[in-house]
């Protein structure tokens, strides 16, 4: 490199000076706009206030989420998040085997990033509390930037310690332990193309089934022709997933992203997920459109209708474990309220508001809609439609 | 014919060996820092809105049987 620079300098001093000026100009430009994923840079100081609403399949979940991130000195960045789900549920499972309910889930997390040279270390603690479920997750990851900051390698580990309870039985308590291992590579491929490859293994051990959910079995003694009994899942589950994303800067100022994920686990669920995203800025707006497709096979112990009571060692009728196909269309608009041009609002340098709508549709291949009250075996397959709305304000300081 | 296949195999092995040796040397970044202005554009940020992304990942994990492999931090689920 030095030889090449020397030769270039000897050949054309003027050209070299122009190159240096160009580099300086672009360095300033990069410092102004970078901050997210390039090497050796801590995340920006930023706060987000979000409201979310999920409405579909008889379930309504809404609440706020607040995330604040702030640097402390030059090498540490702290982050905190507080999140609430307020749930009103009369889902297909609840309607057919239980009673509608309301509940609240509160989650908070604290984390820190420590930057040393080209290495970033992150620790995070997350706590989630419901009336009948507590979850604690401890995570650690380390990222190393390499090859002139073209490559970022990240290794991660997380440990989950959950406690499952029943609201109608104060003596019921079961443990669930989770361990998550991940490795990811983010790679700049060309001046216009960045990609990331992530591999993640998750192992669960403990009480994995839902204590309220039931399976259906054929029962000639019942007026409906079937009855219900509690689910019984295996006590372990290990899943592997690999995901590849690539984002390309188009010849005009817009970007396109493709993503694919392959998933497989020890319950015989195999899934393929793909999505295509288009991002288009216009004046102070940024518009995003996305289509996502997911297809999976069902768990080996899943059945919509078991032949008899206790027909198999393990049994489940959780519709998420059925073979299914889901489609999502996402529309998002973001508006820059305050641009990063020096006209600050006090200590706030930049601000934006974003709104997004996800339209989710799920076709279940093996989960009957029992509310149709059709003769056993001829019930229609269930379909889920859900609207997921988010609005959030972001502030940089 | 057999010789030809063996020769091709030897050439391929030699090429792999040389490529392996070259991998041990310093790698020149083929996209220079001053060529990354487009990659630094906010529209190229892979996870521009972490608070929104983690929420929607949570929704998908609750509605589908698959999980992980998407990068980003995990967290307590509480999907009971």
Q: Per-residue pLDDT tens for A381-394?
A: 999 999 999 999 99
Question: pLDDT tier at A9 (50, 70, 90 boundaries)?
Answer: very low
- Say if residue A57's pLDDT is above 50: yes
Question: pLDDT tier at B25 (50, 70, 90 boundaries)?
Answer: low
Task: State the Cα–Cα distance between residues A28 and A172, nearest whole angstrom.
Answer: 60
What residues of chain A lie within 8 A of the CB of B74, using their CB?
Answer: 137, 139, 158, 180
Topology of the domain covering A44-396: Porin (2.40.160)
What's residue A341's pLDDT?
83
What residues of chain A lie within 8 A of the CB of B59, using their CB?
Answer: 54, 358, 360, 388
Whether B68 and A388 lie within 8 Å, measured CB to CB: no
Other Cβ atoms within 10 Å of A312 Cβ, number = 14
Paired tokens of A36? 């997210």
Task: State the Cα–Cα distance between residues A129 and B78, nearest whole angstrom.
Answer: 7
ipTM of this complex: 0.87
Q: Return residues 1-60 of B near A (CB < 8 Å).
A: 27-52, 55-56, 59-60
| d(CA A289, nearest CA chain B) in Å | 13
What residues of chain B lie within 8 A of the CB of A189, using their CB?
Answer: 31
Q: Which residues does A239 contact at the CB level (< 8 Å), separation at least 6?
A: A201, A202, A263, A264, A265, A266, A269, B66, B67, B68
What's residue A95's pLDDT?
82
Please check whether residue A120 is in contact with residue A36, taking contact to mean a CB–CB distance below 8 angstroms. no
Please check whether residue B74 is in contact with residue A184, taking contact to mean a CB–CB distance below 8 angstroms. no
Whether A241 and B41 lie within 8 Å, measured CB to CB: no
β-pairing verdict for A59-72 and A76-89: antiparallel
Of A52, A355, A67, A322, residue with least CA distance to B72? A67
Look at the alpha carbons of A229, A235, A240, A241 in this order and tell me if their dihedral is positive or negative: positive
Residues carrying CATH 2.40.160.40, chain A: 44-396
Whether A247 and B46 lie within 8 Å, measured CB to CB: yes
- Say if residue A132's pLDDT is above 50: yes
To which H or E segment does residue A190 belong?
Answer: strand A169-190
- Say if residue A214's pLDDT is above 70: yes
- Say if residue A292's pLDDT is above 70: yes
Over residues A302-331, mean pLDDT? 97
Q: Per-residue pLDDT tens for A66-76?
A: 999 999 999 99
What's residue A16's pLDDT?
40
Whether B29 and A65 lie within 8 Å, measured CB to CB: no
Interface A-B: count of C-beta contacts within 8 A: 210
Look at the alpha carbons of A339, A345, A346, A350 in this order and tell me if their dihedral is positive or negative: negative
Distance from chain centroid for Cα A60: 19
Question: pLDDT tier at A63 (50, 70, 90 boundaries)?
Answer: very high
Look at the alpha carbons of B60, A236, B77, A196 in this order and tell me if their dihedral is positive or negative: negative
Q: Per-residue pLDDT tens for A251-276?
A: 999 999 999 999 999 999 999 999 99
Q: Per-residue pLDDT tens for A279-290?
A: 999 999 999 999
Question: pLDDT tier at B17 (50, 70, 90 boundaries)?
Answer: low
Of B55, B72, B8, B60, residue with least CA distance to A49? B55
| d(CA B39, nearest CA chain A) in Å | 6
| d(CA A182, nearest CA chain B) in Å | 8
Whether A354 and B80 lie within 8 Å, measured CB to CB: no
Q: If DSSP states are collapsed to H, E and C, what string results for A273-312?
A: EEEEEEEEEECCEEEEEEEEEEEECCCCCECCCECCCCCC
- Tell me which residue in A34, A52, A242 faces B40 most closely, judged by beta carbons: A34
- Tell me which residue in B44, B46, B68 faces A202 most closely, judged by beta carbons: B68
What's residue A373's pLDDT?
83
Q: State chain B's mean pLDDT as an integer.
A: 75
């Amino acid at each position: 490199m030095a030889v090449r620079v020397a030769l270039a300098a000897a050949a054309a001093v003027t050209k070299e000076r122009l190159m240096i000026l160009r580099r300086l100009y672009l360095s300033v430009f990069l410092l102004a706009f970078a901050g997210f994923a390039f090497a050796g840079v801590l995340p920006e100081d930023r706060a987000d206030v979000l409201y979310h609403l999920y409405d579909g399949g008889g379930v309504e979940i809404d609440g706020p989420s607040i995330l604040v991130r702030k640097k402390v000195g030059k090498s540490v960045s702290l982050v905190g998040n507080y999140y609430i789900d307020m749930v009103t549920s009369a889902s297909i499972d609840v309607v057919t085997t239980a009673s509608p309910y309301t509940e609240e889930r509160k989650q908070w997390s604290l984390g820190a990033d420590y930057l040393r040279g080209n290495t970033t270390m992150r620790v995070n603690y997350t706590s989630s509390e419901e009336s009948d479920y507590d979850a604690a997750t401890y995570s650690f990851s380390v990222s190393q930037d390499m090859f002139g900051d073209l490559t970022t390698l990240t290794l991660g580990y997380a440990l989950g310690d959950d406690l499952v309870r029943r609201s109608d039985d104060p003596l019921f308590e079961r443990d669930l332990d989770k361990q998550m291992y991940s490795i990811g590579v983010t790679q700049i491929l060309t001046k216009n193309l960045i990609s990331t490859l992530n591999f993640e293994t998750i192992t669960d051990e403990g009480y994995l089934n839902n204590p309220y959910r039931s399976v259906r079995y054929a029962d000639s003694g019942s007026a409906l022709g079937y009855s219900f009994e509690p689910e019984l899942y295996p006590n372990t589950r290990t899943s592997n997933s690999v995901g590849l994303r690539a984002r390309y800067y188009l010849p005009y100022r817009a970007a396109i992203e493709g993503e694919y994920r392959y998933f497989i686990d020890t319950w015989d669920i195999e899934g393929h997920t793909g999505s295509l995203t288009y991002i288009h800025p216009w004046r102070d707006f940024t518009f995003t459109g996305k289509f996502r497709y997911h297809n999976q096979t069902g768990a080996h112990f899943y059945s919509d209708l078991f032949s008899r009571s206790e027909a198999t060692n393990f049994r489940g009728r959780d519709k998420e474990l059925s073979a299914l196909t889901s489609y999502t269309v996402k529309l998002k608009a973001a508006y820059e309220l305050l641009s990063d041009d020096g006209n600050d609002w006090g200590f706030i340098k930049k601000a934006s508001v974003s709104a997004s709508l996800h339209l989710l549709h799920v076709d279940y291949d093996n989960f009957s809609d029992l509310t149709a009250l059709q003769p056993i075996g001829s019930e229609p397959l269930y379909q889920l439609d859900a609207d997921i709305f988010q609005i959030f304000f972001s502030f940089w300081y | 014919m057999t010789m030809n296949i063996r020769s091709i195999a030897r050439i391929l092995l030699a090429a792999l060996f040389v490529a392996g040796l070259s991998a041990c040397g310093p790698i020149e970044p083929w996209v220079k820092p001053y060529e990354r202005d487009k990659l630094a554009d906010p529209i190229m940020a892979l996870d521009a809105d972490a608070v929104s992304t983690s929420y929607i990942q949570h929704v998908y994990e609750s509605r589908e049987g698959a999980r992980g492999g998407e990068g980003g931090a995990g967290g307590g689920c509480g999907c009971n």
